[in-house]
């Protein structure tokens, strides 16, 4: 039993590592199609990572050990998060440690290290990016916590797998509280993963970049790990969203090959839909001014609080 | 109505109530959206959406409880609040050429936070009624009162005359929703009277706006604040 | 029943007829004729009630009892005299160029519509229709306040519309809550659940929590229309900027009907709650109105605003008296409503002509009325003395009764009331005296002023001060019993 569980856990982590660049590739393809451009290959992120790994790393003369360690720490937290989030099954061993608030803490750790490392070398862009990232993160965290709070109100637990199981096994209900919270979560996802409308992942203009600014000093394997980590971050957020709002397909009974085998294509389907949806949102939105980012996140917070209010005012949706 | 002995009947009942609750939640969302919105055309569209949700809830309730007068009420709401009044307002906006409202007194985020407090307060205020009501939608009474108070908040933080009027109409929508939640609507004659009042109020306002615009060349209420005690 | 139908149909017909422009030259006369017909119908109804007691008419939809019968007669009477006053007043306004004859079409038809809504509000038995009528009353007068189309009048009209609109929306919520409580007690009877007579019968079974909440909303809502502090800010502006006949009916009639609505609700709520909450709220709002109005009186420079604040003060006094409860205080409050209405409208008639003679509403521009036009001057003087509570006018009687009851039951209020009344006396009397006597700067009016209404009102007030007719006193006492208290 235990080896099977361990194998399943490793499988989940492997799937995450493989799927994250694929997800980003799919997202970029959708954006290209929606913009009436020719799409890059689906495997382009893989090739970019491979290219980076083959290069020689260049470090600034005054880079501290923190700068050299940060990529590994960030990547490591993202991998651990990928293992914790119930993307394939709700019963995996590590998943038992998945308290949603602890997850938020993991993401926060990654962000802190990323920002510190960006400021480490002392360039203007790095500091600029770090400050902006911290501002967005500072505002996004309460919204994210509120989303988790509402979800835990509905399921009476903050353990993510338990929430997934609860929502997957109850009968289909129209739950306005969950609907509002889902909208809030989408907004937070856009903000935390540096997508339009909060940040343009393709830009390197000083006026507008947040995430890219923090990666400017990195090269070769460090940059590869950072890029992979941000792809993993997007994948993790998407899986958290699935776990909270679209949990059907996650294996909820005891771990068996059949359950996992079914869960993988379902996950792929969900990722495909999510990627298309995100691409659509990015295409129809314009990037906000940095000054408007707090308003954007306040809207997210408001939606989450609305979800809580609706839950409190209306009570649980009546079940037959 | 479905035969209660059929196995699917219970699911029907539950879905009806879920839909009604979803309508209530949508009303609250629209009320908040109105609080945050600054484009006047979008405000009118939100008002029409609010009327549509109200009409949908009324008709659903009519179907579910079999009360005939609710059908009439729903159709009346559709005709008046979704079709006629927004059309009238759009025409007014076109001819008066207002587009944007000024920045509200608090910034948008502050307004929204105030709105949250107001909704919580409204919920507390409506508690005794929620406990006593026996209708299918009693949970929505607190939300209805919240919508009313949010519309009131919107009215007092706005500067353009037409935004205040939209807030006033939104308040009426909330009141109707409250009436529906608590008592399945009012007696038909009263509802007709209220509808007539709203209609006449809008017509009076239409005339009024032109008078104001003629005098001041703008619908900014700042011009209307000169009356004081100095005379 | 025929009298009721006639009484309501006449202003309706008047509004329709006057809405067409054919009668431009004779519209004021037509207006007066319709008002006179309404008055006749109202008198016939009153006579019937004297003879046969309270009437439940047209399938229980209308109810005339001692509380509203004298208000109905009063409304029709003041409507008539104001229409008579409005004739020469509007002619002079046209001659002065402040308004065109074309706009008078709106004025006259809205005036009749307003009378209809007042009478409907007073006689209806349905609390929902009471709300509808009061809202309709606001709507019919909004465009009248802005009749002169000056910036100030537009502002006053806007304030009036928004404040009263928001207020009345609160009253709608209160009515909904009332219906909610009624349904629980009476069963889902539909239309009959909002009938006051039915509600009065079961008031002890109505849910106290719901009714307490309902009363708060109803008091805030209808209190806005009655000019209770702190919802009074529309009143002074609307009175000052609208044409004088409108100020007269707003002060004389609308405030009364709003207070009537509040008291009807109070009867129901007290029957359900059996606590002092409604009384205390009424007393609180009343005293606050009296105190604040008398203080704000001092800052006024416009004569109509001055008397508008005086209206707020007197309405506050009546509210306070209703709050005190008991036979004597309620009798006094009802008497006060009557005499205040008559006196205040008379004052507005006089000030209307005074302002026309001076060409301005500012008190410092009006001087020496008595010299050039003794009737206007003395009308104003006597009216002011009447409203300030000098014996033997009726206001003295009602104020005296209120004060003595307060001394017995609510002694804490006495210093505030006396101080407020004293302040008002000083402010108003001083100003009016300098307006009436002294060097004149008045000009002659192009048409003769209408002063019969002024003196008719003042004569009635004097009469009521000296002698209250037995059936009127009987109504007051019956109404006082109905309204209850302790």
Average of pLDDT values for C143-165?
A: 85
B partners (3+ CB pairs within 8 A) are: A, C
Place of tokens 């205080």: C329
What is the nearest CA distance from A197 to chain B, expressed in angstroms? 18
Hey, of C58, C110, C125, C172, which one would you mutate to test binding to chain B, going by the most B CBs within 10 A of its CB? C172
The single-letter DSSP state of residue B135 is S
Distance (Å, rounded) from C-alpha B68 to C-alpha C280?
A: 42
Contact C162 B225 (CB under 8 A): no
Q: Which of A188-192, B130-134, C246-250, C408-412 has the lowest mean pLDDT?
A: B130-134
Contact B129 C210 (CB under 8 A): yes
Q: Give me the DSSP letters along C431-469.
A: HHHHHHSSS------SS----HHHHHHHHHHHHHHH---
Distance (Å, rounded) from C-alpha C44 to C-alpha C50?
A: 10
Domain count, chain B: 1
What is the nearest CA distance from B230 to chain A, expressed in angstroms? 41
Distance (Å, rounded) from C-alpha C324 to C-alpha C318?
A: 10
From B183, which residue of chain C is nearest by alpha-carbon distance? C180
Average pLDDT of the residues of chain C: 86
Contact C191 B188 (CB under 8 A): yes
Percent of chain C exceeding pLDDT 90 equals: 21
Q: Give me the DSSP letters along C82-99.
A: HHHHHHHHHHHHHHHTSS
- Which residue in A179, A299, A319 is closest to B14 by CB distance? A319
| Per-residue pLDDT at C316 | 93
Contact B17 A318 (CB under 8 A): yes
| Per-residue pLDDT at B1 | 40
Which positions in chain A touch B123 (Cβ < 8 Å)? 309, 312-313
The DSSP element (H or E) to which C126 belongs, if any, is none
Between C30 and B225, the higher pLDDT residue: C30
Contact A318 B18 (CB under 8 A): yes
The dihedrals phi and psi of B160, each to the nearest 5 degrees, come to -85, 140
Q: Which residue from A17, A18, A41 is spatially nearest to A29, judged by alpha carbons? A: A41
Which positions in chain B touch A184 (Cβ < 8 Å)? none
Average of pLDDT values for B128-148?
A: 77
| Per-residue pLDDT at B229 | 40
Q: C281 by DSSP, 3-state: which?
A: helix
Q: Which of A276-285, C301-310, C462-471 has the lowest mean pLDDT?
A: C462-471
Chains B and C lie in contact, requiring 3 or more CB pairs less than 8 Å apart: yes
Hey, of B157, B174, B189, which one would you mutate to test binding to chain C, going by the most C CBs within 10 A of its CB? B189
From B168, which residue of chain C is nearest by alpha-carbon distance? C166
Q: Which of A34-43, A137-146, B189-198, C215-224 has the lowest mean pLDDT?
A: B189-198
Which positions in chain B touch A295 (Cβ < 8 Å)? 108-109
Which positions in chain B touch C173 (Cβ < 8 Å)? 145, 148, 175, 178
Which positions in chain B touch A298 (Cβ < 8 Å)? 108-109, 112
B41 domain-assigned: yes
Q: Which of A43-52, A213-222, B219-228 has the highest mean pLDDT?
A: A43-52
Contact C194 B145 (CB under 8 A): no
Interface of B with A (CB under 8 A): 10-11, 13-15, 17-19, 21-22, 24-26, 28-29, 32, 36, 108-109, 112, 116, 119-120, 123, 139-140, 142-143, 146
What is the nearest CA distance from C135 to chain B, expressed in angstroms? 7
Q: Which of A277-281, B38-42, B156-160, C89-93 has the highest mean pLDDT?
A: A277-281
Contact C162 B168 (CB under 8 A): yes
| Per-residue pLDDT at B228 | 46
Q: CB of C373 within 8 A of CB of C449?
A: yes
Which positions in chain A touch B143 (Cβ < 8 Å)? 310, 313-314
Distance (Å, rounded) from C-alpha C136 to C-alpha A139?
A: 49
A124-139 per-position pLDDT tens digit: 888 888 988 888 888 8
Hey, of B8, B29, B103, which one would you mutate to test binding to chain A, going by the most A CBs within 10 A of its CB? B29
What is the nearest CA distance from B169 to chain A, expressed in angstroms? 22
Whether B42 has a pLDDT exceeding 70, the answer reads yes
Residues 6+ apart with CB under 8 A from B179: B185, B186, C176, C179
Q: Which residue from A266, A222, A309 is spatially nearest to A89, judged by alpha carbons? A: A266
- Which residue in B132, B152, B186 is closest to C166 by CB distance? B152
Average of pLDDT values for A277-302?
A: 86
Whether C138 has a pLDDT exceeding 80, the answer reads yes
| Per-residue pLDDT at C242 | 87
Which positions in chain C touch B186 (Cβ < 8 Å)? 128, 175-176, 179, 194
- Residue A173 token pair: 């209900």
Hey, of C61, C109, C155, which one would you mutate to test binding to chain B, going by the most B CBs within 10 A of its CB? C155
A235-273 per-position pLDDT tens digit: 999 999 998 888 877 776 666 777 778 888 888 999 999
| Per-residue pLDDT at C337 | 92
Q: C14 by DSSP, 3-state: which?
A: helix
Which positions in chain C touch B217 (Cβ < 8 Å)? none
| Per-residue pLDDT at C327 | 85
Whether C383 has a pLDDT exceeding 80, the answer reads yes
Number of CB pairs < 8 Å for B and C? 142
Distance (Å, rounded) from C-alpha A239 to C-alpha A100?
A: 12
Contact B214 C152 (CB under 8 A): no
- pLDDT band for position B3 (50/70/90)? very low
Look up the domain containing B33 and give its range. Answer: 10-98+105-225
Note whether A319 contacts B: Cβ–Cβ < 8 A.
Answer: yes
Whether C485 has a pLDDT exceeding 70, the answer reads no
Note whether A274 contacts B: Cβ–Cβ < 8 A.
Answer: no
From A293, which residue of chain B is nearest by alpha-carbon distance? B109
Q: CB of B149 within 8 A of CB of B168?
A: no
Q: Is the dihedral of CA B82, B85, B88, B93 positive or negative?
A: negative
B204 domain-assigned: yes
Kindly tell me the burial class for residue C429, based on how many C-beta atoms sit within 10 Å of its own C-beta (0-12, 13-18, 19 or more).
middle
Note whether A153 contacts B: Cβ–Cβ < 8 A.
Answer: no
C189-208 per-position pLDDT tens digit: 666 778 888 888 887 888 78
| Per-residue pLDDT at A71 | 92
| Per-residue pLDDT at A23 | 94
Interface of A with B in 173-212 (CB under 8 A): 173-177, 179-180
C444-472 per-position pLDDT tens digit: 777 777 778 888 888 888 888 888 888 78
| Alpha helices for B3-107 (secondary structure H) | 7-36, 40-65, 68-77, 85-96
Whether C86 has a pLDDT exceeding 70, the answer reads yes
Note whether A223 contacts B: Cβ–Cβ < 8 A.
Answer: no
| Per-residue pLDDT at B46 | 94
B1 domain-assigned: no
Q: A256 by DSSP, 3-state: which?
A: coil
- Which residue in B168, B184, B230 is closest to C166 by CB distance? B168
Average of pLDDT values for C28-42?
A: 89
Average of pLDDT values for C99-107?
A: 82
- Which residue in B168, B171, B204 is closest to C142 by CB distance? B204
pTM of the model: 0.80
What is the nearest CA distance from B138 to chain C, expressed in angstroms? 12
| Alpha helices for A2-123 (secondary structure H) | 2-34, 44-54, 65-84, 100-120
- pLDDT band for position C117 (50/70/90)? very high
Whether B7 has a pLDDT exceeding 60, the answer reads no
Q: Which residue from C127, C326, C287 is spatially nearest to C215, judged by alpha carbons? A: C127
- Residue B30 token pair: 């629209």
B2 domain-assigned: no
Whether B21 has a pLDDT exceeding 80, the answer reads yes
Contact B28 A306 (CB under 8 A): yes
């Amino acid at each position: 039993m235990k080896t099977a569980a361990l194998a399943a856990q490793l499988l989940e982590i492997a799937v995450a590592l493989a799927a994250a660049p694929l997800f980003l590739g799919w997202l970029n393809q959708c954006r290209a199609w929606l913009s009436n451009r020719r799409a890059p290959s689906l495997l382009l992120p893989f090739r970019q990572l491979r290219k980076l790994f083959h290069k020689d790393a260049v470090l600034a003369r005054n880079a501290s050990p923190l700068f050299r360690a940060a990529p590994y720490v960030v990547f490591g937290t993202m991998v651990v998060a990928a293992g914790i989030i119930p993307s394939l099954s709700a019963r995996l061993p590590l998943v038992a440690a998945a308290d949603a608030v602890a997850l938020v803490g993991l993401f926060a750790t990654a962000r802190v290290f990323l920002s510190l490392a960006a400021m480490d070398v002392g360039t203007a862009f790095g500091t600029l990016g770090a400050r902006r990232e911290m501002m967005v993160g500072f505002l996004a965290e309460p919204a994210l916590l509120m989303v988790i709070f509402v979800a835990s109100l509905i399921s009476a637990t903050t353990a993510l797998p338990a929430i997934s199981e609860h929502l997957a096994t109850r009968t289909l209900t129209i739950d306005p509280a969950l609907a509002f919270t889902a909208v809030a979560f989408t907004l937070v996802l856009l903000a935390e993963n540096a997508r339009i409308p909060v940040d343009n992942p393709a830009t390197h203009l000083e006026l507008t970049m947040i995430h890219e600014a923090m990666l400017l000093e990195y090269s070769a394997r460090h940059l590869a790990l950072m890029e992979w980590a941000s792809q993993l971050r997007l994948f993790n957020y998407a899986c958290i969203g699935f776990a909270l709002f679209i949990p059907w397909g996650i294996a909820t009974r005891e771990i068996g090959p059949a359950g996992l085998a079914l869960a993988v294509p379902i996950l792929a389907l969900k990722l495909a839909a999510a990627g298309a949806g995100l691409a659509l949102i990015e295409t129809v939105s314009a990037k906000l001014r940095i000054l408007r980012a707090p308003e954007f996140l306040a809207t997210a917070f408001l939606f989450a609080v609305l979800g809580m209010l609706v839950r409190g005012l209306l009570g649980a949706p009546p079940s037959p | 109505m479905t035969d209660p002995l059929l196995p699917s009947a219970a699911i029907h009942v539950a879905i009806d109530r879920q839909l009604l609750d979803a309508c209530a939640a949508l009303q609250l969302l629209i009320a908040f959206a109105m609080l945050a919105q600054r484009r006047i055309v979008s405000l009118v569209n939100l008002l029409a959406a609010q009327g549509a949700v109200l009409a949908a809830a009324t008709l659903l309730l009519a179907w579910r409880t079999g009360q005939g007068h609710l059908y009439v009420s729903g159709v009346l709401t559709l005709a008046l609040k979704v079709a006629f009044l927004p059309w009238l307002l759009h025409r007014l906006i076109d001819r008066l050429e207002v587009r944007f409202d000024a920045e509200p007194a608090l910034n948008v985020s502050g307004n929204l936070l105030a709105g949250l407090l107001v909704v919580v307060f409204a919920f507390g205020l409506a508690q005794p009624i929620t406990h006593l009501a026996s209708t299918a939608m009693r949970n929505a009474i607190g939300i209805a009162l919240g919508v009313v108070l949010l519309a009131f908040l919107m009215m007092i933080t706005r500067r353009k005359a037409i935004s205040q009027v939209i807030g006033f109409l939104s308040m009426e929508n909330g009141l109707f929703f409250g009436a529906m939640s608590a008592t399945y609507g009012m007696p038909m004659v009263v509802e007709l009277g209220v509808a007539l009042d709203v209609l006449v109020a809008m017509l009076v306002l239409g005339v009024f706006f032109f008078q104001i615009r003629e005098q001041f060349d703008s619908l900014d209420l700042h011009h209307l604040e000169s009356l004081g005690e100095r005379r | 029943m025929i009298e009721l139908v006639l009484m309501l149909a006449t202003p309706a017909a008047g509004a329709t007829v006057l809405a067409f422009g054919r009668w431009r030259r004779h519209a004021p006369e037509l207006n007066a004729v319709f008002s006179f017909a309404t008055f006749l119908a109202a008198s016939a109804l009153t006579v019937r009630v004297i003879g046969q007691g309270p009437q439940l008419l047209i399938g229980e939809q209308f109810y005339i009892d001692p509380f509203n019968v004298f208000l109905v007669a009063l409304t029709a009477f003041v409507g008539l005299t104001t229409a008579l006053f409005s004739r020469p007043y509007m002619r002079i306004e046209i001659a002065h160029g402040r308004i065109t004859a074309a706009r008078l079409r709106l004025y006259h038809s809205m005036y009749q519509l307003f009378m209809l809504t007042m009478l409907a509000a007073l006689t209806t038995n349905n609390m929902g229709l009471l709300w509808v009528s009061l809202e309709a009353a606001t709507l019919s007068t909004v465009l009248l306040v802005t009749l002169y189309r000056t910036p100030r009048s537009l502002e006053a009209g806007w304030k009036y519309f928004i404040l009263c609109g928001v207020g009345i929306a609160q009253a709608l919520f209160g009515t909904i809550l009332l219906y909610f409580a009624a349904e629980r007690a009476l069963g889902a009877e539909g239309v009959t659940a909002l009938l006051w007579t039915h509600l009065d019968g079961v008031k002890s079974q109505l849910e106290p929590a719901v009714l307490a909440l309902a009363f708060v909303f109803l008091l805030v809502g209808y209190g806005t229309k009655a000019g209770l502090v702190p919802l009074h800010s529309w009143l002074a502006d609307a009175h000052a900027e609208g044409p004088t006949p409108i100020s007269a009916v707003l002060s004389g009639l609308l405030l009364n009907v709003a207070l009537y609505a509040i008291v009807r609700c109070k009867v129901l709520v007290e029957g359900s709650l059996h606590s002092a909450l409604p009384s205390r709220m009424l007393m609180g709002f009343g005293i606050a109105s009296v105190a604040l109005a008398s203080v704000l009186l001092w800052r006024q420079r416009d004569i109509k605003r001055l008397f508008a604040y005086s209206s707020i003060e007197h309405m506050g006094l009546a509210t306070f008296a209703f709050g005190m409860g008991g036979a004597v205080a309620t009798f006094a409050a009802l008497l006060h409503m009557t005499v205040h209405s008559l006196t205040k409208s008379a004052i507005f008639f006089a000030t209307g002509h005074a302002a026309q003679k001076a060409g301005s509403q500012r008190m410092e521009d009006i001087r020496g009325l008595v010299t050039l036009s003794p009737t206007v001057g003395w009308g104003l003087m006597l009216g002011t003395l009447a409203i300030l509570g000098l014996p033997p006018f009726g206001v003295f009687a009602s104020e005296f009764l209120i004060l003595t009851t307060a001394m017995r039951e609510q002694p804490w209020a006495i210093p505030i009331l006396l101080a407020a009344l004293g302040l008002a006396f000083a402010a108003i009397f001083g100003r009016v005296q300098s307006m009436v006597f002294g060097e004149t700067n008045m000009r002659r009016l192009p048409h003769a002023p209408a002063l019969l209404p002024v003196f008719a009102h003042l004569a009635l007030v004097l009469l009521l001060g000296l002698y209250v007719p037995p059936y009127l006193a009987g109504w007051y006492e019956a109404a006082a019993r109905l309204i209850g208290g302790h």
